[in-house]
Structure 1
Amino acid sequence: MPPQQSRASGDSMAFKKVPFTSIIALSIALSAHPALASVRVFQLKQPPTILKSPPQIPQILSRVFGLFGNAPKRSEEQIVYEFIADNKLTFGMENPGDQKLSLKKIRQTSRGKTLRFTQIEKGIPVSGAELIAVFDANGELEAVNSSLISLSSPPGAAEITREEAFAIASRELGYENAELGEGSKDGLQIVNTADGATLVWQFSVREGADASRPMQVQVFAAGAKKGEIFSKISLESGISGDIVIYDASVTLIIPNPIYKGLKVLKNGKRRWAGLLKKPAEAKLAHASLQKASDYYLSTFGRDSFDGNGASLIASVNVGRKFSRLLDPFGMRQNAAWMGPWKMFIFGAGGSMLGNFTKALDVVAHEYTHAVVGSTADLTYAGQPGALNEHLADLFGAAAERHFEPSANPFIIGEKCLRGELKKSGAPGLRDMLDPHNSLNAERALGRPNAPEFAQPAHMAEIPREMGPDCVSNEGNDNCGVHLLNGVPNRALSLAILESGWESIMDLAYRVLTNRLLASSDFENYRDQLLDECQASMPNDTCEAIAQGFESVGL
């Protein structure tokens, strides 16, 4: 009978005798083991840094020599908590754990796994504070992207209710019949201001009568400013599930979760209303949404915009009964993903813009906004909002190129121009490769003081009023989300010319779904692309991306 190894009751590890020569070999193995390798750390407005990850010594010993029997394995979540605790000066967090960080999503990737956390204090999320941890196939932490906030002192309790805050905001913002949405981040939030941390109520709202002016609003919930509006951001982003198309042409009511219009198609088949009314526009919407979802499914394995087979709900011919005296760039001449209401709307078109459902790049653009909302959920203002628009342009162009190849796949929305805008000579709504060549609507309509070009192609061309101190409002396009996206559009287009669509789109998808923060800016986007590229793609591709960003001043 073989000798028994001594083992204490309840002990989880069994030790073996190891010769001295193995100890030397072990020290060499440990020094080179990935668990002791550096972790790349990215933080907004700061240069990337290198920090050390806590070593998983029992796992290393077990893997190298079988020194331990069943060594207890730390979870990826625990590794992240320990890493932050070991680097608390960097992250400004004394005692990380499930009382300070909430694990929101775990995603398996081709190279390993990513974990997305949100920062919490007393169970309340901290607005804009996130951390994304990237693990390799061996379960080793290799990169962190963080927007965690060091709170000087925790806030007190809310002093007004959500209903009171909603009523105040509705009155202050001039809504006649405000309709409340259900945004993924709505509710009580902590914001960090110059006066310290305080509470706000966050909610999504739009005009109930015509669904106009959808906004995300934050109202102070406590303190001297309680009841005042802290921030407001416009939400107009201008598969195994079903594709359901409604026709809104028969009513003045703008589609909403309760009334979307008449149901005319479900999965391409006519419903009862579709038998009474020719569903031509609905069929175009169904075909384009089918192609957009098929592109994501066949290229990236993504089942619907949420990755879980959600049904696609859309209303077409929106605003057909509206007065033609309304703003020509209003609901009739627009296409949008209404995030808090989980539906797409496509306007009936007007004298200058139309044919939205026929333009696959425009439909896939809006579909990508839905994908962004289910992944990085980029804040729709300033540079994060411009990245939201850039990614929608990028994937919209890629989807159209996939099904409808053209001589210049970098042009967005060429099928949508009508009237004076079509006569202006602009190739489309946007030109990703040459943002100066995008549609300059002000100049096309002969309006005085029109800007020299529609979009900047370089960081140096960004208007000063759209810089870091810009305050988002309805009048400045949320600090230029449709303006500033010209910069990353050109950077990625140049990279595509060098490396091809397939490699760049694969990389961009992984960064969007696994690595971007809600508050990521252009520099953070560049850093995440390069870091992910260097870990998984040829050097030529990474060099093309670096040169693309360098050419636009990044």
Structure 2
Amino acid sequence: MHKKGCSKSVCQCFIVPNYILENMALNDVEAARVSLAKSRQMRRRRIFKEYDIKGVTALTDAGSGRHGESARHVYDCKGGTKLRVNEARKEGDRSSGDHVVNQAYDYSGVVRDYFKEVLHRNSMDNEGLDLILNVHYGNKFTNAYWDGDEMVFGDGDGIIFSNFADSLDVIGHELTHGVTQFTSGLEYEGQSGALNEHLSDVFGVTIKQYHLKQTAADADWLIGADIMGPTLKGQALRSMKAPGTAFDNKLMGKDLQPDHMRNFYKGERDNHGVHINSGIPNKAFYLVSMEIGTDKAALIWFDAMQNLFATANFNQFVQVVIKAAQKLADGGTVPHTAIKTIEDAFKAVGLPE
């Protein structure tokens, strides 16, 4: 079902923060300058997009899936900026001759199936919402984003960033923004916005580990390592294991993420630090996963995700996560030791304050 989102305020959530693109633009990376201008233009137009809160409205009659089943639709922008123009592959179609189209199709299926089979959630809205993915967006567009309806992926410049649809954790991250939109609706600013980004990072890495059959100890805990071009291979956008260490180079600058509340970013950049301060709860999730396993930690975080409210801050998030752990432990889903593990992990990053 192609359907319209039903949250009053919908963020336009980009995987690459503006402060990275700004640094690249200052270093004469033309693709970053163009992408930054395009991102700002889109943010002005859609950052808080209004939807009809009274009900769900059909956008199109896809006809590719039965009622209640989430179908994938991959569109090829062919270097342009119009969305949903050239459908390159839809649910059930044979493989395309375009590797990027196939990656977007396959990886979105992995994410959809994880939410359905492991977390028992039927797509982003739990009602079988179709997954709309637009690839080859713009000319060397160096970003990917969720806009409240659909996902958009640039090809990168091939030097600093490669294709953004070529990363399972990036697609998992962006799709999780959709799940957040239909659950807690976390506002995309300050601490609630950092939690929004945090949850997307959590399920981006969790789904990657699940797909690769990795343990917490085996995983690299990086977001965006697969989209780094040949110039910056070995670096990433974020590290959940060691926030603040994902990148350090002239083009991107220095990773600004803190791993403790003592270094909490209080400035106005990045919507008051949504991509920056997410490093603090990210580190806590990593610590919990190392003790009880990423699979168990993700079950707790997903339960908490559904019980948050739009303006939740870090302290409130801690309490919701602990309550989720208590509930799941009482039901035998996670060990009772998870509660103390979570308390210790948040204490290690300075929470609650």
Amino acid at match of 1:429: L
Deviation, 1:405, is 3.7
**Matches for 1:32-431 after TM superposition, within 5 Å:** 184-185=7-8, 211=42, 213-216=44-47, 240-249=69-78, 252-255=80-83, 260-269=84-93, 278-319=97-138, 322=139, 332-339=141-148, 342-350=149-157, 351-406=159-214, 407-422=218-233, 425-426=234-235, 428-431=236-239
Amino acid at match of 2:82: I
Deviation, 1:498, is 1.0
Once residues 208 and 334 of structure 1 are traced to their aligned partners in structure 2, the CA distance between those partners, rounded to angstroms, is 9
Q: For the Cα contact (< 8 Å) 2:301–2:324, is it kept in 1?
A: no
* DSSP-derived class of the 2:100 partner: helix
Are 1:536 and 2:328 counterparts?
yes
* DSSP-derived class of the 1:489 partner: helix
Are 1:553 and 2:350 counterparts?
yes
When Rg is computed on C-alpha atoms for both structures, the one with the higher figure is 1
CA gap of 1:544–1:214, structure 2 versus 1, over 3 A, is farther
Once residues 220 and 39 of structure 2 are traced to their aligned partners in structure 1, the CA distance between those partners, rounded to angstroms, is 38
Structure 2 match to 1:456 = 258
Q: For the Cα contact (< 8 Å) 2:103–2:165, is it kept in 1?
A: yes
* DSSP-derived class of the 2:346 partner: helix
Amino acid at match of 2:314: F
Deviation, 1:464, is 3.5
Deviation, 1:504, is 1.1
CA gap of 1:309–1:548, structure 2 versus 1, over 3 A, is same
- Quote the sequence identity (%): 29
Once residues 405 and 436 of structure 1 are traced to their aligned partners in structure 2, the CA distance between those partners, rounded to angstroms, is 27
Deviation, 1:439, is 2.3
Once residues 111 and 188 of structure 2 are traced to their aligned partners in structure 1, the CA distance between those partners, rounded to angstroms, is 22
Structure 2 match to 1:511 = 304
Question: How many residue pairs align between the two structures?
Answer: 295
Deviation, 1:539, is 3.2
Amino acid at match of 1:430: R
* DSSP-derived class of the 1:436 partner: coil
Deviation, 1:531, is 1.9
Tell me, which stretches of 5 or more residues in structure 2 are unaligned? 11-36, 50-67, 330-334
Amino acid at match of 2:155: A
Q: For the Cα contact (< 8 Å) 2:145–2:151, is it kept in 1?
A: yes
Match of 2:313 among 515, 521, 543: 521
Q: For the Cα contact (< 8 Å) 1:207–1:213, is it kept in 2?
A: no
Once residues 75 and 287 of structure 2 are traced to their aligned partners in structure 1, the CA distance between those partners, rounded to angstroms, is 39
RMSD: 2.7
Tell me which protein shows more helix as a share of its residues.
2
Tell me the alpha carbon deviations over residues 216-257 of structure 1, each in whole angstroms, 9 at most, x when there is no partner. Answer: 459xxxxxxxxxxxxxxxxxxxx712111110015x3332xx
* DSSP-derived class of the 1:544 partner: helix
* DSSP-derived class of the 1:484 partner: coil
CA gap of 1:499–1:539, structure 2 versus 1, over 3 A, is same
Are 1:497 and 2:326 counterparts?
no
Q: For the Cα contact (< 8 Å) 1:439–1:454, is it kept in 2?
A: no
- The normalised TM-score by structure 1 is 0.50
- The normalised TM-score by structure 2 is 0.77
Runs of 4+ in 1 over 3 A off after TM superposition: 206-218
Higher RCO, 1 vs 2 (CA within 8 Å, ≥6 residues apart): 2
CA gap of 1:209–1:483, structure 2 versus 1, over 3 A, is closer
